[in-house]
Amino acid sequence: MRATVAGLHAELVHYGLVVWTAGNVSGRVPGEDLFVIKPSGVSYDELTPENMVVCDLDGNLVEGAHAPSSDTAAHAYVYREMPEVGGVVHTHSTYASAWAARGEPIPCVLTAMADEFGGEIPVGPFALIGDDSIGQGVVETLKGHRSPAVLMQNHGVFTIGKDPKAAVKAAVMCEDVARTVHVSRQLGTPLPIGSAHIDRLYDRYQNVYGQRSPR
């Protein structure tokens, strides 16, 4: 899991989702009440499996020479409250954060959005770093929602997945659709997709598309 989480940070850089050190990936250690997360303040090209940090589900450091990411409390809250989640990603990616800055959900106007998010990408509450309020906002918004991504108001994106790779994919797709819908808005009014069509697209993509490995 250390190697997986370290390696996935390169994807955040590759897809242009992060600048400096402002973004992080974590992954639950299978079968343990532990997760692996990025060390705080270490640049992406210096991340290795060895300098990843292991925390318990209260966000306490269990193993590692560095302090954990400053977003660790939010990741820990999600793992505590959503046992089905195996990976969490946080970014300030540009287009998605621009929607977050307005507190506006991204409407489901692309089939790719219906596929991946099953509807709009919702907005979570304004919350300050330092306690559980960001984690609470993420969980309150995503529990009972098909979207694996939430736009935290005035802040940025949190995504979840069955594993860290799925959470990274959701972060990449979230930024992609945020950009496309933004561009569409410049030229007119994007057309909504009917909810019955969204349901069909989501069901097909989640259950039929791809190589039929268990999801």
Q: Select the span of 44-52, 98-106, 114-122, 154-162 touching Zn ion (CB under 5 A).
A: 154-162
Give the nearer residue to Zn ion in terms of CB position, either 137 or 156.
156
CA distance 133 to 101: 18
- In whole angstroms, the minimum distance from the beta carbon of 142 to Zn ion comes to 16
Annotated catalytic sites, by residue? 115, 209
Angle of helix 2-14 versus helix 164-187 axis, rounded to 10: 20
CB 1: neighbour CB atoms within 10 A? 21
Position closest to Zn ion via CB: 156
Residue 205 beta carbon to Zn ion: minimum distance, rounded to whole angstroms: 29
For the record, the structure tokens of 112 come out as 């790719």
Of the two residues 148 and 156, which places its CB atom closer to Zn ion in the complex?
156
CA dist 90 and 214 (Å) reads: 25
The SS3 of residue 101 is: helix
At which residue do the structure tokens 């209260």 appear? 58
Binding segment toward Zn ion, per CB under 5 A, in 25-33, 54-62, 114-122, 148-156: 148-156
H or E stretch including 200? helix 195-207
The count of chain residues that interact with Zn ion, using the rule CB under 5 A, is 1
Q: Would you say 55 or 198 has its CB closer to Zn ion?
A: 55
Q: Which is nearer to Zn ion, 24 or 147 (CB)?
A: 24
CB of 88 to Zn ion, least distance (A): 12
Going by the DSSP 8-state scheme, the letter that residue 156 receives in this structure is E
Residues that bind Zn ion (CB under 5 A): 156
